[in-house]
Amino acid sequence: MSDAHIFHPTVLREYDIRGIVGETLTPADARAVGRAFGTMVARGGGKTVCVGYDGRLSSPDLEAALVDGLVACGLHVLRIGLGPTPMLYFATRDREAAAGVMITGSHNPPEYNGIKMMLGKGPVYGQQILDLGTIAAKADYASGPGSSERIDVQDAYVERLLKDYDGVRDLKVAWDAGNGATGEILRRLTAKLPGTHIRLFDEIDGTFPNHHPDPTVERNLVDLKKAVAEHGCDIGIGFDGDGDRIGAIDHQGRVVWGDQLVAIYAGDVLKSHPGATIIADVKASQTLFDEIARQGGKPLMWKTGHSLLKAKMAEVGSPLAGEMSGHIFFADKWYGFDDALYCAVRLIGLVSKLGVTLASLRDRLPPVVNTPETRFQVSEERKFQVVQEVKERLSAAGATVNAIDGVRVNTPDGWWLLRASNTQDVLVARAESGTPEGLERLKAMVVEQLEKSGLPAPSFEDGGSVH
């Protein structure tokens, strides 16, 4: 068990560990992660680790290998079994464990899987993940007599989710679990949540037979929109594969995007935390930052990445943060981690107690026109160089640039963003304006800057959507 292990170079990512099962990620890799991460935990004085896994076909084997590695480090492992990633976060906090590990491929295609980790109350990311590779390569492992046991936290988790429901009138809600890991918890939750509930695809199936489990892509919401229309629902809720990202539909069948949801939640949270700092990532709409300020909050734009936002929230004491991608974090009444089931409970409660529709809350935000996130491939080495070149050219030209994560450029027409992905060999571009003509001018600016760096222009799909 003490053999050195070298991971495939693509597997240790910024926020997690991820690979193609049987090719770049195997049970031997999972065992090595268990030994390396277990070493980190044990040398930090930790004794207990919670472990969970999602509904992918490869997850049970990877979980068993990971547990072997943790036990070999002399740790006691609490195995919570199959469920969503936030249930693992909850169990780690609820059982006061030193760390938590989740086997999950999140919203990636079925052939992928991965590992997310938390140490203490915070995420493991960046250099800490690279350090696991160093420990494994040197076989510099802690060892000792460890043990494991299976525990069931599902009822405790559901009870905690329900605790913060504050609705006063019953709503009709459609839910799309996308055959992901939320299915069983969703059944238990909706059995106890007031109102009428229509559940779609709540059978956990790692082949994802109905649609890909990513609610931030509109084509994956077709079934949910149909259910909302057919049943006359007030709200539709969708989840990603491991339940840490939320998608929402109003009763008119329109998508309420991640940044719009944060703006809606902010109004509620700021009532009990007046003047609080609320955080969103650089991809979020300007309307969100304006709305936070309008309601007396302090808007803070921060880097994209769920681990980075969680860390920033803890640093500044923020009660709420969110990403365009549907990762939304409540520290108001909750634990500060991203939990789509909890976000759903809060959204239904909010609409119920305000006596309004989700559509009306969405329509309080000024309409803007924007592009979807447009990704185009650039080599790992070149992607950061291009962003730096663009930043230098814009700064020399006196443009208004926020460089917290890539370049976000404000102009009279609106704003545009170019950033290097931390998880893929792509650049991400986005633009937003108050008018279609302004959006075209912003898109032309992005194209011009990329051409100056010798890159072909991105194809902005759909030409822009109303948001």
pLDDT at 147: 98
The DSSP result for 326-358, as a single string, is: S-EEE-SSS-SSB-HHHHHHHHHHHHHHHTS-H
Query: Are residues 417 and 282 in contact, defined by beta-carbon separation less than 8 angstroms?
Result: yes
β-partners of residue 112 are 20
pLDDT at 463: 45
User: Which residue in the block uniquely carries the two structure tokens 């559940």?
Assistant: 199
What value does the mean pLDDT take over residues 129-140?
97
What value does the mean pLDDT take over residues 344-361?
98
Sheet harboring 172-176: ordered strands across? 196-200, 172-176, 235-239, 246-250, 255-256
User: Could you tell me the sign of the dihedral formed by the alpha carbons of 128, 132, 133, 135, in that order?
Assistant: positive
Nearest to 266 by CA among 305, 306, 300, 238: 300
147 catalytic per annotation? no
β-partners of residue 376 are 427
Query: Confidence class of residue 320 from pLDDT cuts 50, 70 and 90?
Result: very high
Which helix (H) or strand (E) segment is 80 a member of? strand 76-82
Exposure on the CB side of residue 324, measured as CA atoms within 13 A:
20
b/e code 340-370 from CB counts within 10 Å (16+ = b): bbbbbbbbbbbbbebeebbbebbeebeebbb
pLDDT at 1: 47
Average pLDDT along the chain: 95
Nearest to 54 by CA among 218, 180, 156: 180
Sort 42 into a burial class: Cβ within 10 Å, 0-12 / 13-18 / 19+.
buried
Residue 464 predicted with pLDDT over 80: no
User: Which residue in the block uniquely carries the two structure tokens 């770049």?
Assistant: 24
Q: How far apart are the first and last CA of the chain?
A: 53
pLDDT at 467: 55
Token pair, residue 194, equals 């007031």
pLDDT tens readout for residues 396-420: 998 889 999 999 999 999 999 999 9
Catalytic residue among 2, 58, 59, 106, which? 106
pLDDT at 2: 55
Residue 381 predicted with pLDDT over 90: no
pLDDT at 372: 83
Rounded Cα–Cα distance for residues 344 and 233 (Å)? 14
What value does the mean pLDDT take over residues 314-328?
96
**Percentage with pLDDT > 90 across the chain:** 88
Most confident of 98-112, 206-220, 339-353, 367-381: 339-353
pLDDT tens readout for residues 54-90: 999 999 999 999 999 999 999 999 999 999 999 999 9
Query: Are residues 196 and 119 in contact, defined by beta-carbon separation less than 8 angstroms?
Result: no
Token pair, residue 190, equals 């909706």
What value does the mean pLDDT take over residues 2-27?
92
Nearest to 193 by CA among 175, 180, 176: 175
Nearest to 36 by CA among 158, 119, 108: 119
Sort 194 into a burial class: Cβ within 10 Å, 0-12 / 13-18 / 19+.
middle
Token pair, residue 201, equals 């695809």
The CA–CA distances, whole Å, from 452 to 54, 329, 448 equal: 44, 38, 6
pLDDT tens readout for residues 186-239: 999 999 999 999 999 999 999 999 999 999 899 999 999 999 999 999 999 999
Query: Confidence class of residue 421 from pLDDT cuts 50, 70 and 90?
Result: confident
Sort 253 into a burial class: Cβ within 10 Å, 0-12 / 13-18 / 19+.
middle
Rounded Cα–Cα distance for residues 45 and 427 (Å)? 40
pTM: 0.95
Q: Domains in the chain, please, with CATH? A: 17-152 (3.40.120.10), 156-363 (3.40.120.10), 369-466 (3.30.310.50)
β-partners of residue 77 are 49, 148
pLDDT tens readout for residues 163-180: 999 999 999 999 999 999
